[in-house]
Amino acid sequence: MLNFFHAFVAVMLAVAMVACEPDTPQQTVETESVITLISAQEMEFLAEGGEGTITYVAFERVVSRSEDVPELVVEASCDAEWVTITATDFEKCNFEVAANEGEARETKITVRYADKSVEVAVKQAAKVEAPAPVLTLTSEADCTFTADGGEGTITYTLENAVEGTELTAECDAEWVSNITVGENITFEVAANAGDERNTKIVVAYGELGFEVGVKQEAKPVEAPRVGDIYYSDGTWSKELDETKTPIGIVFCIGAGNNDSATYYKNKTGVKFSEIKGYVVALKDATNGVNDNEGVTWSFYDGWYNGAGCSKEIDDFLGYTNTQSIKQAALRDDCPAGEFNGTEQSFPAAWYASDGYELMVASPESSSGWYLPSAYQLKYIFDKVYFKDDNMYASVEDTILMLKEKGLADEMYVRDSEYWTSTEHYDSYGDSSWAYYVCFDSAMIDPGFIANYNKYAKFRIRAILTF
């Protein structure tokens, strides 16, 4: 009996224990999803696009649920291809907006959490064409430099610069260098040892640009000095410029005695404005005539009344004398009837002018070669031919230097006597004699002026005025 009781109690306890265990639930009793937008409901972007973030709070208020109910997630979507969702969680949604190449546009991004959602409008502006760049030169369009050179500055303004476009400045001339582009454009101009020169600096910015002219003055011409070498181009220098052709030596500066610029025309017929100086030729004009025996002054006529030349032995009128002789050759009393180198005309003046011009062309800017007056040759002998301690240079110094190169012949040598264009008139007003100047090194006292029969033969050394 006792055993039965124990068994009964055990069964009842087991039933009681089973009756007291709770049932296992199968679903959520109650839930509530919540999503609240924190950021703005509308976002605007420039045409360039960019990144955006939508912020919010998303959560689930759960009253009761079973462990089998899945956890909810936040999702975001957008229909526009130009918006890309990059990340989404319970606090924010990140996205990217592509650059806009067209008109203004808009779309929306929807963020969902369970059965709740929020929408954010995304607006993007149309592409705005950037204003065109404007490049303006603000300094002078031309700049001038002295022969010494120096530094230059070009100023400019550049508006609406384009990223990646560079401003450049270039020049083809080697004498313009160190061009630097910054807020201004700077450059250097080298010293000029020659003639005037011109170039340009080209400034470019994309398709824009401008040019600035650069002019540099020629090297200043030094005033001529006695002893300077005179060239066929009308220039002069102390030292020989082997790129040029030397034709004479400067022997006097400024207008000589009784001479005037108003008496002169250059070879092109233009009147002189001033007399810079006088030049003696490097060689005798009669070098090729009978071993430089010389030529006559003119035809012989004991009753000839002269060619109209000066009779004074203290003037520098060789040019006007030579012009008078050329006119006299056309008169009826000239046997030749023309100006030439024959003994029936005026050979001394012809060899000094037209004849020597055929051998050694003078500059167009000069008077051309002519037969010097008595005092012009006397001046050379007395004043400038021989070296003086106070002289810059002598004619003889330069002649000897050029003689070494085969370019000149001395004047002061044996038997060296030169016709001049100065006439001698007798008491009857006739002129069958003319003056010559003695450069004969064999004479005890050379350098004198004397007159002689025009039919005598003496050497010819031409001069010119410039």
Distance set, CA 161 to CA 32, 58, 179, 201, 312 (Å)? 58, 47, 21, 21, 81
Identify whether residues 447 and 350 lie together within a single domain: yes
Identify whether residues 34 and 105 lie together within a single domain: yes
Domain count, the chain: 3
pLDDT tens digit string along 171-201? 999 999 999 999 999 999 999 988 899 999 9
157, part of any domain: yes
pLDDT tens digit string along 375-404? 999 999 999 999 877 777 799 999 999 999
Between CA 73 and CA 223 the distance in angstroms is: 101
Identify whether residues 74 and 191 lie together within a single domain: no
5, part of any domain: no
Which of 61-65, 303-307, 378-382 has the largest mean confidence? 378-382
Give the CATH number of the domain where residue 70 resides. Answer: 2.60.40.10
Identify whether residues 37 and 96 lie together within a single domain: yes
- Boundary-marking domain end, from 105, 124, 143: 124
Average pLDDT over residues 226-236: 96
The answer to whether residues 138 and 154 touch, using CB atoms and an 8 Å cutoff, is no
Q: Of residues 10 and 313, which shows the higher confidence score?
A: 313
- The residue count of the chain comes to 466
Average pLDDT over residues 327-337: 93
Distance set, CA 145 to CA 140, 214, 215 (Å)? 13, 8, 6
Identify whether residues 87 and 164 lie together within a single domain: no
**pLDDT band at 61, cuts 50/70/90?**
low
In the predicted structure, residue 256 carries a pLDDT above the cut 90: yes
Name the phi and psi angles at 373, rounded to 5: -75, 170
Spell out the residues 6+ positions from residue 430 whose beta carbon is closer than 8 angstroms to its own: 302, 303, 304, 305, 306
- Boundary-marking domain end, from 55, 89, 124: 124
Query: At residue 384, what is the residue type?
Result: V
- Boundary-marking domain end, from 95, 124, 153: 124
20, part of any domain: no
Identify whether residues 315 and 416 lie together within a single domain: yes
Identify whether residues 201 and 79 lie together within a single domain: no
pLDDT tens digit string along 135-155? 999 999 999 999 999 999 999
Between CA 383 and CA 392 the distance in angstroms is: 12
Give residue 99's domain range: 30-124
Lowest mean pLDDT among 49-53, 132-136, 255-259, 434-438: 49-53
The answer to whether residues 339 and 354 touch, using CB atoms and an 8 Å cutoff, is yes
Identify whether residues 308 and 349 lie together within a single domain: yes
Tell me the pTM: 0.62
Q: In this predicted structure, what is the pLDDT of residue 451?
A: 97
